[in-house]
Amino acid sequence: MIDLHTHCLFSDGELVPAEHLRRVEVLGYEAVAITDHADSSNLDFIIPRLVAVARDLNQHSSTRLIPGIELTHVPLAMIAELTERARKLGALVVVAHGETVVEPVRPGTNRASIEAGVDILSHPGLITEADAALAAQKGVFLELSGRKGHSLTNGHVARQAMATGARLVVNADAHGPGDFLTAAAAEIVALGAGLSRPQYDKIRQDMQTFVAALPV
């Protein structure tokens, strides 16, 4: 089990990283990324702390903690710049807060994030086929979300991904202890979006391959 989109108390999550990691370790996770919400105001606060705590905790955990970030409600013209800055600060997973149907995300955020080369476009809402095709071309993952509200368009996202060849991930977007997905729950998210079990197995393999390629 791998989750590449979660939040601790560095933004709007509830747990310190140590407890966050321990709770998913007990659930049998291979890896978890903490990707707290950021814009230009706090990028340089969050990422170095996650890099440092990952270095400390990974010596003592069977689950790998991956430092990341979620660029959230960022002006379109700043997405590429902040993506590059996040990577230079040490973020191994850059998530962009996509055009979910339950928040007033700026139109064009999906396209700008894909063009910027983020790793994951989270809860991309009613993503267009053209944007999904660009995500496939650039290797950007589209997210199927386990989070209430964001999950409303999972079926649409899955169909667009299947039509264009875009890669998918299943993430909890966890903010607290009750949000983490078990392996069975993650499978339900995928199957509930209309995917087959072999298609979900491919998602899991792609996530494992992605994590295995990250620098230690």
Count Cα atoms within 13 angstroms, Cβ side, for 99: 19
The whole model's pTM is what? 0.98
* Span 31-40, pLDDT tens digits: 999 999 999 9
Residue 168 confidence class, pLDDT cut points 50, 70, 90: very high
CA distance 29 to 22: 10
Q: What is the DSSP string of 96-115?
A: EE---TTS-PPTTHHHHHHH
* Span 64-91, pLDDT tens digits: 999 999 999 999 999 999 999 999 999 9
Domain 2-212, architecture per CATH: Alpha-Beta Barrel (3.20)
Task: Look at residue 205 in the predicted model and tell me its pLDDT.
Answer: 98
Alpha helices, H only, the chain: 17-26, 43-57, 79-89, 109-116, 129-138, 154-164, 183-192, 197-212
Residues near 156 by beta carbon (within 8 Å), at least 6 away in sequence? 125, 126, 127
